[in-house]
A and B are shown apart, each in its own frame.
Chain A
Amino acid sequence: MSGGQGFEPDEEPPVPFDDLPQPGLPPDGLQARVLERLLREDLVVGRRTRRWLWPAAAGLVGIVLGGSLRPAPPPGPTPQGPLFMLVFAGGPQSGDGLKQSILATRTWARTTAAGRIVGGQRLLPDGRVLEGTSVEREAPRPRSDDFTPTGFFIVRAHDLADAAALARSNPHLGLGGTLTVRPVDDLRWVRDGE
């Protein structure tokens, strides 16, 4: 880079740009906005996600299985408020649609819902249904237009309305799926293995 290179005496002389005001430094919030976009598009891995989302999710497996695994406490600020479960159903069940849904939900978890998710898992389509003491049959495979659960998140929210507002921002709804929001009765004896 050498300004003025190639200048010939019979050419026009350089423009006096010193007369123009200097643009100054980038705005304070720009870095945050750029980063938010890169996180949303999955181009950068966020610190918060890396540190505690997956350990927390692993802890939740312990809860669900009724084991004695204690959820890993997040190193950052602990989200406050009661627990709610967001149950996923419907929407794309295979192929590119399913991939898109998973990717969009992952981005949502890392951005919009970051700091509020305690854990979550996807449920695979196979399963068994037990009825009473004598009936056992194959679970119905989830379809794009039914309410068979395909996954869940456990989130912290102020109340049911707040949890529903968070759920409304989930991209699964835009892909034709449904989300059921239910308050969770936190059974501490399960979590603590008492």
Chain B
Amino acid sequence: MNGPAGDHELVARFLATRDESAFSALYQAHTPYLWRLAMRLCQGARSEAEEVVQETWARSVRLLPGFAWGSALRTWLAGILINCRRERYRTGLRHAALDAEDSGRGAATNEQGVDLERALASLSEELRSVLLLFDQEGYTHVEIATMLQIPAGTSKSRLFTARRALRERLGRAGAR
């Protein structure tokens, strides 16, 4: 059910009825992915990731009638999620309990994982988003450009800068 054809069917059913069960089908098809992306972008802060996913669905449901299938539904949803996250980050709307509640959030158990989490957290939001979307989620620069509303060349240069910065920081961490 969870492919482009299945997505067309799910969206058509939801738009026809606006029904709770039709929405649940959409939610279940895409939320595991959105959750993973939100957790990565929010650096493992669960409460903040929850709020971002909630906001993403509220916004997506409003915009869904105008969705023209210029991309996969999942890519479109990811773009909305990234924008929700960016807006929260810019306006300082980060969850108040983020640091306290989620301080052990990454919970990486191996040394490399801990170093990588710290290095990722030290990157700017702009660099981290591109890095995660390309290396972790497998999007192309064109897709990332659409989601982040930047030129594809900017996505490419940010990726280069992010990887280099990360590697430098990991190198420093490894040297300690």
Q: Please determine whether A19 and B110 come into contact, CB atoms closer than 8 angstroms.
A: yes
Which of B17, B53, B120, B141 interacts with A45 by CB under 8 Å? B17
Give the distance to chain A from B95, nearest Cβ to Cβ, in Å.
14
Within 8 A of A (CB), among B51-96: 53-54, 57-58, 61-62, 75
Contact A2 B32 (CB under 8 A): no
User: Chain B's nearest CB lies how many Å from the CB of A53?
Assistant: 14
Q: A1-B143, A27-B50 are in contact. Are A14 and B20 (CB under 8 A)?
A: no
Q: Tell whether B117 is near chain A: CB-to-CB under 8 Å.
A: yes
Interface size range on B against A: 35 or more
Chain B 1-41 per-residue mask, 1 if CB under 8 angstroms from chain A, else 0: 00000000000000001111101100110011011100110
Contacts of A38 in B (CB 8 A): 23, 57-58, 61
The 10 closest A-B pairs by CB, nearest first: A12-B163, A3-B138, A23-B39, A26-B35, A19-B112, A19-B113, A1-B138, A43-B61, A14-B135, A17-B136
Binding site for A on B (CB under 8 A): 17-21, 23-24, 27-28, 31-32, 34-36, 39-40, 44, 46, 49-50, 53-54, 57-58, 61-62, 75, 106-110, 112-113, 116-117, 120, 131, 134-141, 143, 156, 160, 163-164, 166-167
